[in-house]
Every structure is written in structure tokens, then in C-alpha cells.
Structure 1
């Protein structure tokens, strides 16, 4: 059984430095102590003991995937910063027993309130909030109209959040187990039905990913992983 083990101190410090660098760009006039307090709050949320998949490990994977896509020039420097900040907030509120969409809306509201308090510009806050709410169904095309002008940012964030589908086999199996642990309160039959519906929907999409790099390097492996999990669920 996997556990939500505390992240090494060196890794947490690296995450803190990354956050502070992004906020220095997006909120240069915010007092340092407020930016530090915010990242400490965020890491505390991501480290809550009830989390199994939606943990610091997932946060790190999303940020790493954003950086990989940015290195492939899938988006510019500003978009990268916004996608990374959205990564910090997209699961900051997480209760596996909450109603569908509730976690995402709570996280988006928290992002708006906290970023406003830090002095991030309204336009940037709007983009981050919309990226977070997009994770309800991972539908870029159905997002707010103003995201159309940030389509590269949305594509990068979308793909980074779904990177896990394309992860190496051992990591994918661990991820699937972590999700089941988070939903341990759901009876096995109902869990299989719900999980099957979510995964089957992904496979009906013409493409899982929106960036060129992800389509070239992640798409095939993701479809293999999802299909294999569906086979296990239906066995």
C-alpha cells in the first residue's frame, strides 16, 4: 500500500524557491513575508494526511511537466508562470467526499482570493482561476471565452495535469492505487463503475493531449495505460 510520506526537506525547499520566483514575476510588489506565508500554506494543504494521489508528489509532477512543455516552446515565459501558479492551486482544496466539481470551485475561489491579496493583476488572476475550474472536466474548448486568447497556456496546463496518464507503468499502477485509497469510502462496485466511466471517456477523445510534444511523446503510452486499467477494472 502506498502512503503519503512527507516530502524530503530539500525537495520542499526547491518547491518554495520555484513559487517565490514565479510570484516575484507576477506580484513584484507583494511583501516577501506574505509570499513565504502563502507557499507554506499551500504546501501544508498539499501535505494533508488524507491525500494519496493529490499530494506533493502530484504537484511536483504537474510542475515538472509544465517545465518540460515550456522547454519545448509550447508556451512563452508568462504563460509558463501562470500555468505553474495554476498548478499550485488546482487541487489546493481537496476532499474526496465532496460533491463533483466542489473541490475545483473551492480551489479556484481560493486562488482568486489569495492572488488578489498578493497583488497579482486582475487579468492574470482571471486566467489562473479559469485554468483551475477547467480541471473539472478537462475541457479546454468549453472553458471561459477569455481563455481563447490563452489557448497555449490552457493546453500546457491541461496536458501537465494529465501527464500521469502517460507515466511509466509502475508509476501509473501506483497512481491508480492511490486514487482507490482516496476513495476508500466508495464501495468496490460503485468505484469500478465511476472510474470506468471516467477512463472510458478519455479514450473516446480524438486526442488526449493538446500540445505537440505531448501528442508525440505521451499520447500512445497514456492510451495504453488507460486501456490496461480499464481491463483490470472490468475483469
Structure 2
């Protein structure tokens, strides 16, 4: 996604929530802060590439969203905090999102819904609410990517966990991917399931070996 298209998507999400356009203070600083986060040197997968893929996925599935602007901002924040040595990245990202929305004048209920959407990306269980299902499916759409992109994704994840020895990383990675493969269905949004489920299962089976 080009920089201007990325900023346009950002601006549109805020406008849809009826608050100050982010190309003026204070939200422009927030936009820059998020870009800086996604550009951190220790990231290989959780970068602007992933964010752009998620935003493109939302654009494709927008008609299935109840509150697309809230999903969009949840996507912007869902990997805002990413430290492979911590286990509270989603919590910290969700808290940041909620505070940023409240500071911008978004009502408390909407800010809390965005917080809940970000928390759904912990992937501890499949969500029951439709917008959360859509968000999670978009976040996991990489699993159903064409084989070359999926292979690149696997390499990017390994780079992020380069400090973990193979004898620890590989069985743990197989366990994680096996958990996704065991979901039936993997994708809860019908249109995403129709597009990606079969390829995702092929990718996961090959990765698990």
C-alpha cells in the first residue's frame, strides 16, 4: 500500500467515527507513532507489510462489517506493541487504542469495542461476535496466502524468534500451527472461508510436515 493510500485509510476510519481528522493535531502524531512502531528493527513479519495486508483484507470484506471503522482502527493498533519477550502485547496495544480513541473524542462504548477487538487477536479462542470474527479472520488471512507468501511469512516469524534455538522453536511452532489446523472451520467469515480455507489447510499441513 502506498503511503498516501495508507494515510487515507487512517483518516477515513477516524472520520467515520465522527472525530477530528487525523491529519491535524493530535492524531497526526499518533499516526506517526504507529508507523514508527511497525517499522521497529526487531520486526520481520509484524510490520507495515502485515498492516497493509490487513487493511487490504478489510477493504475486500468491508460489506460484511457491522462497524468497519472500528475494525480498521483495531487493525491499526493490533500489533502496535510487539515484543517477542513479553506476553502482554495485545493487552498493551488494546489499552493504547482505547486511550487514543478516548483522547480523540470517541465515545467510551466505541473505544471499548475497539479494545475488545484488539484483544481478540490473542487468538486464544475463536470469537462469537461477527466483527471480532472478521477481524481475526483478516489477521489470520496470511495462513491462506499463496504458497510463496506463506513461506516468506514463516521465514519472517523465524527471524523474529531468532534468539530461540531450533529444538525449542520448531515443536512450539508446529503446536501453534496445528492448533489453527484443528479449527473446523478455521475462518468463521463465510466469504473469507470460501476464498482461503482450502489454501490455509494446505499451507498448514505442509508447514507442520
Q: With structure 1 as the length reference, what TM-score do the two structures score?
A: 0.84
Are residues 1:118 and 2:104 paired?
A: yes
Matched residue, 1:55: 47
Write the distance in 2 (CA, Å) between the matches of 1:89 and 1:192: 28
Write the distance in 1 (CA, Å) between the matches of 2:20 and 2:192: 36
Write the distance in 1 (CA, Å) between the matches of 2:178 and 2:61: 26
Write the distance in 2 (CA, Å) between the matches of 1:204 and 1:33: 46
- Out of 92, 95, 101, the position equivalent to 2:83 is 95
RMSD across aligned C-alpha pairs, in angstroms? 1.5
Structure 1 runs of 4+ with >3 Å offset: none
Q: 1:138 to 1:216 in 2, by over 3 A?
A: farther
How far the C-alpha of 1:138 sits from its partner, in A, is 4.9
How far the C-alpha of 1:20 sits from its partner, in A, is 1.1
SS of equivalent residue, structure 2 residue 41: coil
Matched residue, 1:75: 65
SS of equivalent residue, structure 1 residue 33: coil
Write the distance in 1 (CA, Å) between the matches of 2:195 and 2:21: 39
Write the distance in 1 (CA, Å) between the matches of 2:5 and 2:124: 28
Write the distance in 2 (CA, Å) between the matches of 1:30 and 1:175: 34
**Unaligned 5+ runs, structure 1:** 1-9, 142-147
- Out of 122, 125, 139, the position equivalent to 1:136 is 122
Q: How many residues align?
A: 208
SS of equivalent residue, structure 1 residue 139: coil
SS of equivalent residue, structure 1 residue 218: helix
Matched residue, 2:13: 22
Q: Is the 8 A contact 1:27 1:118 kept in 2?
A: no
Write the distance in 1 (CA, Å) between the matches of 2:162 and 2:109: 39
Matched residue, 2:73: 85
**Unaligned 5+ runs, structure 2:** none
Write the distance in 2 (CA, Å) between the matches of 1:28 and 1:84: 15
Q: Which has the higher contact order (CA 8 A, sep 6+)?
A: 1
Write the distance in 2 (CA, Å) between the matches of 1:208 and 1:160: 12
Q: 1:19 to 1:138 in 2, by over 3 A?
A: farther
How far the C-alpha of 1:28 sits from its partner, in A, is 2.1
